[in-house]
Structure 1
Amino acid sequence: MSRTRRAVGFDVVDLGLRASRDAKGVPAELLDGYLEDLAELSTTGVQLGAKQLRVRHAAGARAAADGVPLRDLVDLYLSATWLAWSSLPGVRDATGADAVRAVGEAVFRAADAAVTALAEGYEEAQRWSVRREESFRREFVDDLLDGRNLGHLAERAERIGFRLAASNVVAAMRAEEPIAVGGEVARNVETAVQLRLGSRDVLVTTKDGLLVCVSPALAADVPEEFVRQVSAVMGVEADWRVGLGRAQSGPGGAVRSFEQARDALDIADRLALPGRLHKAADLLVYQVLLRDSAALADLVGEVLEPLRQARGGAGPLLDTLAAYFACGSVATVCARNLHLGVRTVTYRLQRIRELTGYAADDPGQGFTLQVAVLGAKLLGWPDAGS
């Protein structure tokens, strides 16, 4: 709100409108008594006080809230200053060059102080706006991926420039170090994905130390692009994985897909699966095993517990079984993959048969052993016990 207008000896309204036109139409109301201040100090030489600078600070904040570019706001004030110069009472009444110079110094110092206060108010308002939007975005992301307050998610998504699809799929990246909110990795991947895809339908964010990408189920190329950009930012030498949930529909679709992506990461870590991208759809058999963890623990204990009696413990024999089944039950390939001699592998397989009563090369007994080995990896046996 403009302050009470003071008599200054020239048409403040007309001059303000001229300055506004010169500054691309920035509202003259943002001058808010500046011309009157200039007129007064041109005669008194007294610089702008704290109260007057607070008015400039508030004008800068209003301009930021109204979306006025800072450069145009500064242009408004500088235009008003030079347009008002010849009409200022201190300039009109000055006698001699020294007097004019003194008025000029006072006016330019005031203009400098005014612009500084404007910029401070503008930047402070912008920082507050950014913090408020970041808080809103964080709250939206938490609700989306935790399954809370689902009723108005689509409306809230629009506010952050994201269109929530009817059916969504979520990819989540886990690295050695948690991905920080607003950190360099998150910013760089988000920027790269948005530049590459140019879509409002893709949201890249962080959650629980993971880097998360939410996209429509129909956009099948998004997860692969997400992995490519993560690889470009993280590097091929870094230790990271991406879990991909299945497409899920409805208001809670994103949280269900996110949970599946995290489960895929957990399974890939426990089983030391090769590759970077691990799809929940490809790991359903492990999910089936984990759904009855008590029965799985019974199987592991019943079949593999005797391996603890071996010299060196169960670990080397368990690793041999895992490698043997992973290569299609070929002892020579297993030996090469483990950097062991073939005789060592065959000896271990024989020792496993002696201890457990199960032969790895027997179709039926081998299947039982293989499921027990998978269960051991999923449950962390033998370190976590049976």
Structure 2
Amino acid sequence: MQRSGGGKTRRSKRRAQAAVPADLQVFLQALREISVTERTLATNERHQLRNAGAEAAEHGVPLSELIEQHLTRTWRSWTTLPGVESADNAEAVKKVGEAVFRAAEDAVSELTKGYEETQRWTMRTEESLRREFIDDLLAGRDVGQLAERAERYGLRLAGQNVVAAAWAPEPFVTSGTATSNVQAAMSLRFSSRHVLVAAREGLLVCVVPHDLGGAPEEFARQVGEVVGRSARWRVGVGQPQSGPGGAARSFEQARNALDLADRLELGERFVKAADLLVYQVLLRDSAALGELVTAVLEPLRGARGGAERLVETLGVYFASGRVTTATAKALGVGVRTVTYRLGRVRELTGYRADDPAQAFTLQVAVLGARLLAWPQRKSAP
């Protein structure tokens, strides 16, 4: 009884046979002469076999099928080879066999070299095209052609996409182990047709569809795995954006989120641009913000030891919900020290940190100071 899968197997083999390059026929002709002269493959024959391997790779013929076809045709031609037909004893047949099998082995080597060289070239070309596409996508270049090129990578620019950007002390590079490991992990988790990971400007960038739930968080987790949980790193996430220029806008937001988180010295590893909008609003009029910082906090420069310690105390005080005991614990000082410092702020600036209305002005000024790197700068811009 014939197995039900037999027909499919035969059809697959017929397709493989049809796809075998014509240059492979050269080897079968050479075998006829080799069986008589017992010579090795000539240089031109080796070159043609490499071409056959390259052609098979270009047409998508699996290497295993190519070699199978080569060996099948070799053994099928055995009984018709002139050297075999003319052999009159076992020793003569043995010599012919050695020459033929040596040639078959050399032919497999040449086929494989041609196949693998073409595959490597194809992979390098594909990777180059991919990097070029990601560069154009994140820079917003060639917008008119981006949508068409995006289809190659499974991105729908008409839909919403999100960009996450990871920072670490050691810049990410295209050929780096960290980059390739995160890319492989994300492709395995979500399919390479939906996720683009690449190094850009020292950051590791991930572009994903907005509806691919959990992808930015998984990207951050993988970054932590390759960089090290105890190391310094952070991931910023832009807002969902649509259209050919959407990825560039989301990438800019992700970078801004990283910059703001660094300025504000946030402890979070994962920061979203949407959660930092209030700081963006403050920075949109940096001149006015600078005037506020100068007007409110400049007198603190007159404190013994400078303004830094008092500004830090105010920042922790507001972050602790204006609770002096929590502030003292966070700073590692006594409650009386916190009370004293808040008193000095009141004396120097005229603003009370425990008064709701005045505290709001102080808090915005402290946020502005952190955003504008004051008091390290001699005056706010």
Structure 2 equivalent of residue 255 of structure 1: 248
Structure 2 equivalent of residue 332 of structure 1: 325
1:61-105 CA-partner distances (Å, limit 9, x unpaired): 111111011111111211122111221112222233332222222
Q: Distance in 1 between matches of 2:79 and 2:280?
A: 82
Alpha-carbon distance, 1:303 to partner: 2.6
Matching residue within 159, 167, 183 for 1:190: 183
Is 1:172 paired with 2:165? yes
Q: Distance in 1 between matches of 2:69 and 2:245?
A: 50
Structure 1 equivalent of residue 259 of structure 2: 266
On the 8 A contact 1:26/1:76 being kept in 2, the answer is no
On the 8 A contact 2:20/2:56 being kept in 1, the answer is no
Is 1:79 paired with 2:51? no
Structure 1 equivalent of residue 107 of structure 2: 114
Assess, with a 3 A threshold, how the Cα gap between structure 1 residues 199 and 35 changes in structure 2: closer, same or farther.
Answer: closer
On the 8 A contact 2:166/2:204 being kept in 1, the answer is yes
Q: Distance in 2 between matches of 1:241 and 1:270?
A: 13
Residue identity in the other structure for 2:357: G
Moved more, 350-359 or 47-56: 350-359
State how 1:23-102 maps to structure 2 within 5 Å.
26-27=19-20, 29-102=22-95
Alpha-carbon distance, 1:377 to partner: 1.0
On the 8 A contact 1:165/1:216 being kept in 2, the answer is no
Assess, with a 3 A threshold, how the Cα gap between structure 1 residues 272 and 114 changes in structure 2: closer, same or farther.
Answer: same
Alpha-carbon distance, 1:165 to partner: 4.3
Q: Distance in 1 between matches of 2:279 and 2:240?
A: 19
Structure 2 equivalent of residue 14 of structure 1: none
Residue identity in the other structure for 1:253: G
Matching residue within 281, 292, 297 for 1:288: 281
On the 8 A contact 2:157/2:246 being kept in 1, the answer is no
Structure 2 equivalent of residue 124 of structure 1: 117
Q: Distance in 1 between matches of 2:362 and 2:241?
A: 35
What SS is found at the alignment partner of 1:168? strand
On the 8 A contact 1:64/1:122 being kept in 2, the answer is yes
With the length of structure 2 as denominator, give the TM-score of the two structures: 0.88
Moved more, 197-206 or 375-384: 197-206
Q: Distance in 2 between matches of 1:150 and 1:335?
A: 54
Matching residue within 187, 195, 209 for 1:216: 209
Structure 1 equivalent of residue 338 of structure 2: 345
What SS is found at the alignment partner of 1:32? helix
Moved more, 34-43 or 241-250: 241-250
Residue identity in the other structure for 1:380: A
Alpha-carbon distance, 1:22 to partner: 11
Assess, with a 3 A threshold, how the Cα gap between structure 1 residues 198 and 61 changes in structure 2: closer, same or farther.
Answer: closer
Gap regions ≥5 residues in structure 2: 1-12
Residue identity in the other structure for 2:114: G
Assess, with a 3 A threshold, how the Cα gap between structure 1 residues 21 and 254 changes in structure 2: closer, same or farther.
Answer: closer
1:301-347 CA-partner distances (Å, limit 9, x unpaired): 33323333333332222211111111111111100001111111122
On the 8 A contact 1:47/1:106 being kept in 2, the answer is yes
Structure 1 equivalent of residue 361 of structure 2: 368
Q: Distance in 2 between matches of 1:65 and 1:129?
A: 9
Assess, with a 3 A threshold, how the Cα gap between structure 1 residues 57 and 28 changes in structure 2: closer, same or farther.
Answer: closer
Alpha-carbon distance, 1:110 to partner: 1.4
Alpha-carbon distance, 1:228 to partner: 3.9
Matching residue within 300, 308, 312 for 2:305: 312
Gap regions ≥5 residues in structure 1: 1-19
Q: Over aligned residue pairs, what C-alpha RMSD do you find?
A: 2.3
Identical aligned residues as a percent: 59
Structure 2 equivalent of residue 135 of structure 1: 128
Q: Distance in 1 between matches of 2:171 and 2:80?
A: 63
On the 8 A contact 2:185/2:222 being kept in 1, the answer is yes
Is 1:154 paired with 2:150? no
What SS is found at the alignment partner of 2:174? coil
Q: Distance in 1 between matches of 2:226 and 2:256?
A: 24
Q: Distance in 2 between matches of 1:352 and 1:39?
A: 100
Q: Distance in 1 between matches of 2:15 and 2:148?
A: 39
